[in-house]
Amino acid sequence: MAALDDVLDRVDGQLDQSLERLFAFLRIPSISTDPAYAADCRRAAELAAATLNELGFAAAVRDTSGHPVVVGRTDTGASRRVLFYGHYDVQPVDPLDLWDTPPFEPALKTDAAGHKRIVGRGSCDDKGQVLTFLEALRAHRDVTGHLPVDVTILLEGEEECGSPSLPAFLTANAGELSAEIALVCDTLMWDRDTPAITTGLRGIVHCELTISGADRDLHSGLFGGAARNPTHVLAGIIADMHDEDGRVTIPGFYDAVREPPEAVRKQWASLGFTAEAFLGPVGLSVPSGEADRMLIEMIQSRPTAEVNGMYGGYTGQGSKTIIPASATAKISFRLVADQDPEAVKAGFSDFVAARVPADCKTRLTFGEGSRAVLVPPESPDLAKAATALEQEWGKAPVEIGSGGSIPIVGQFKAILGVDTLLIGFGLDDDRVHSPNEKYDLNCFRKGTRSWARILEALA
């Protein structure tokens, strides 16, 4: 523990230099979605590779069909190997006039509450979070001359535009990227003082459903009351998807749903997560999910069926009295372990078919879909990381599920066969993807210290 104390002191002692390195990274406008910034994306990759080589990694910029990835490895013969994933690309900065300072001129500011914060595009998502890990590695190297575990680092440059090149790269380099556990630092804390480990990510199935009736739009005065109206049929199908208690009514939808451990549910119940705090800021007040579930369960551990858009007939100004020939809805399902996307697709197909009347035709098309990801609650690495975080923050981390989907985590499981611990130090007010993105200085500092502890614990 004496050596770890020295490592933690080193993190604090080199904080100013760590910020200088982060600011150099943040100054590069590595916007992946805009081809005009392709050279800057490569420049960011080259800086990351140079940093890893400086830390003793064998690192290189590797070309893909899109923006390059950076792969670095240590091979010291340590008893364990971890894979760390992050991304160096950032979101566009529009609207530029809403930024208080230029987005690629990072600055350290103090807010009204006295909190120091790093401001600039990528400060939280994900350059600042990546640097917490790299600076923890640096502190271990400086103090002990080695790392507690062997580390493989994978940094991509297309996360903000859907990671189109990454699955093929993972498949082609699976042996090189193999590890016992993957680590991702691109998530949030529970609150400013409470760390979190994201242990579950919902999967997703999305589809488009079109109901067609007559071979053209019909005059509603001539045909109304006699001709089938596809918008009525579509609305009826959608209305039937949930019962009055908020449960999804598709047969078999909940068959594979796994309940969270009772200890986790008790932890969630103790958090004081209220509708007022969660829904109030967006102008709502009453949860609409399953009536017998806590609000936190609705968004973390329960599956959903949502209508993302509906259209049909005339939608312009004024009136046009028709019975439309077709109506369409875009629908998505968020899945939890152990739901099978293919089973959900089949169940919804049968559900729709049972509700389509004569004189109507159906077109139902699905996206590929992805499974939910769940870190086994009995994982020794989960317990080690939780203990390390508690030692740093003075309170146990909250184990949470994410309502969103992070495809890379599922790909790590499917292609590399490894589970992932998602441990991030962002806050929900960091304005990620928005003007004036920021990262609290305390989150950066204690995030670095946390990784130093976690690396030691995983060894």
pLDDT single digits (tens) 165-223: 999 999 999 999 999 999 999 999 999 999 999 988 888 999 999 999 999 999 999 99
Secondary structure letter of residue 126 according to DSSP: T
Strand 322-323 and strand 181-184: the pairing is unpaired
- Asked if residue 280 has pLDDT above 70, the reply is yes
Q: Within a domain: residue 221?
A: yes
User: Which of 246, 238, 134 has the alpha carbon at shortest distance from 185?
Assistant: 134
pLDDT computed for residue 1 by the predictor: 62
pLDDT computed for residue 2 by the predictor: 67
**Does residue 451 share a domain with residue 340?**
no
Q: Within a domain: residue 52?
A: yes
pLDDT tens for each residue of 435-444: 999 999 999 9
**Does residue 251 share a domain with residue 105?**
no
pLDDT tens for each residue of 241-258: 999 999 999 999 999 998
Domain CATH code at residue 311: 3.30.70.360
Q: Are 390 and 397 in contact (CB under 8 A)?
A: yes
Q: Are 52 and 149 in contact (CB under 8 A)?
A: no
**Does residue 384 share a domain with residue 310?**
no
Domain CATH code at residue 26: 3.40.630.10
- Asked if residue 88 has pLDDT above 80, the reply is yes
Q: Within a domain: residue 158?
A: yes
- Asked if residue 286 has pLDDT above 90, the reply is yes
Residue 21 to residue 390: CA distance in whole angstroms: 28
The percentage of residues in the chain with a pLDDT greater than 90, rounded to a whole number, is 89
Q: In total, how many domains does the chain have?
A: 2
Boundaries of domain holding 221? 203-257+303-366
**Does residue 319 share a domain with residue 353?**
yes
**Does residue 118 share a domain with residue 9?**
yes
**Does residue 197 share a domain with residue 221?**
no
| pTM metric for this prediction | 0.85
Which range is least confidently modeled, 133-147, 326-340, 348-362, 396-410? Answer: 396-410
pLDDT tens for each residue of 364-373: 999 988 888 8
Specify the residue for token string 């559900």. 351
Q: Please report the DSSP string for 168-231 in residue order.
A: HHHHHTHHHH--SEEEE--SB-SBTTB-EEEEEE-EEEEEEEEEE-SSS-EEHHHHTTTS--HH
pLDDT computed for residue 51 by the predictor: 98
Q: Within a domain: residue 296?
A: no
pLDDT tens for each residue of 1-27: 669 999 999 999 999 999 999 999 999
**Does residue 378 share a domain with residue 360?**
no
Q: What is the mean pLDDT of the chain?
A: 95
**Does residue 208 share a domain with residue 136?**
no
- Asked if residue 50 has pLDDT above 80, the reply is yes
pLDDT computed for residue 337 by the predictor: 85
User: Which of 307, 284, 159, 292 has the alpha carbon at shortest distance from 238?
Assistant: 307
- Asked if residue 89 has pLDDT above 80, the reply is yes
